[in-house]
Amino acid sequence: MTDTTIATGTEAAATPMLSADLALIYRCIPHRYPFLFVDKVHSIVPNKSAIGIKNVTFNEPHFQGHFPGVPIMPGVTIIEAMAQTSGILVSLSMDLVDKNPLVYFMNINDCKFRRKVVPGDVLTMNVTVRRGGGRIWKFWGEASVDGELAAEAEFTAMIDLRKG
C-alpha cells in the first residue's frame, strides 16, 4: 500500500492516508513553534487511530526551566503532543484540511505518567478514537519511548470552526 496525499484546492481532502509530514500538519492544526509537539504522523486510519512522532531535542524552550541541569519534558506537553496527534487525525477524518479548525480540551481523565522523557528521546503517541464524528471527540492516548510507556490518558476535545 502506498501513501496518498491531500490535494490542494477543491479536491477531496479526506482521502485515506498513511502519513502526514510537517507541511500537512501545518494545514491540519494551527499550532506553530514553540508550541507544535508533533513532527510527523503515520499509520493514520481516519475516524479510528493515528501514530504521532515527536523528536525531543534539548533546544526546545521548556528545557530552559524544566529543569535546569536535568531537562525533562513536562507531562503537560506530552499530553498536548497526544492531543495534537488527535487533532491531525480529526482534521483528516472530517475534511478540515486548510479550514483552520481549533481544537479545545474539554476533559482529561485517567492520566498517568510512567517514565521521564528527555532530550534525545523519540516520543511515539498512539491515539485511538473512543467516540467521534461530530464536534465532540473522545480519545485514548499512550505516549512511549523505545516501546516503554511514558504517559497515558483519556481526553475529550471539541472542534470549533468559528473564528473569534
Distance (Å, rounded) from C-alpha 109 to C-alpha 140?
9
Sequence-separated (6 or more) residues with CB below 8 Å from residue 89: 41, 44, 46, 49, 50, 127, 129
- Marked catalytic residue, from 31, 42, 62, 66: 66
31 counts as catalytic: no
The alpha helices in 5-162, defined as continuous H runs, are 22-28, 75-93
Q: Phi then psi for 88, rounded to 5 degrees?
A: -65, -45
| SS3 call for 71 | coil
**How far from the centroid of its chain's Cα atoms is residue 143's Cα?**
10
Name the grid cell of 3: 501513501
Among all residues, which ones are annotated catalytic? Answer: 66
